[in-house]
Amino acid sequence: MLDILGTIAGNILSLPGILGLALGMMTRNLLVAAILGGVVGVAETYIFSGFDFARVEPLDLAIAIGVGVIAGCVGRAIRVRGATV
């Protein structure tokens, strides 16, 4: 259980969380923000596995994609809500 929580927290504080949020803030389209966040999650997992998809754990990849998608959507929400103030 702690391994899963550590993986989630590590992804939130790593590229999928931070870069996904930043890329989500660059668009007003929810689908584009989610796709950009998911792509960042895949890229981060691929980079940290040493550019070898054979060493990628499916759970780590799923968590990275999920965190990236959520961060992208949150970034998009920040942009839309921030623009109306």
With both helix axes pointing from N to C terminus, report the angle between 30-48 and 15-24 in degrees, rounded to the nearest 10.
Answer: 150
Query: In angstroms, rounded to a whole number, what is the distance separating the alpha carbons of residues 66 and 6?
Result: 15
Give the mean pLDDT of 31-51: 95
Domain that holds residue 17: 2-83
Question: What confidence category does residue 1 fall into, taking pLDDT thresholds of 50, 70 and 90?
Answer: confident
Question: What confidence category does residue 85 fall into, taking pLDDT thresholds of 50, 70 and 90?
Answer: low
Give the mean pLDDT of 41-67: 93
Count of the separate structural domains present in the chain: 1
pTM of the predicted protein model: 0.90
Q: Two tokens at 57?
A: 């754990």
Give the SS3 label for residue 35.
helix
Q: Two tokens at 73?
A: 């959507």
Alpha helices in 14-57 (DSSP H): 15-24, 30-48
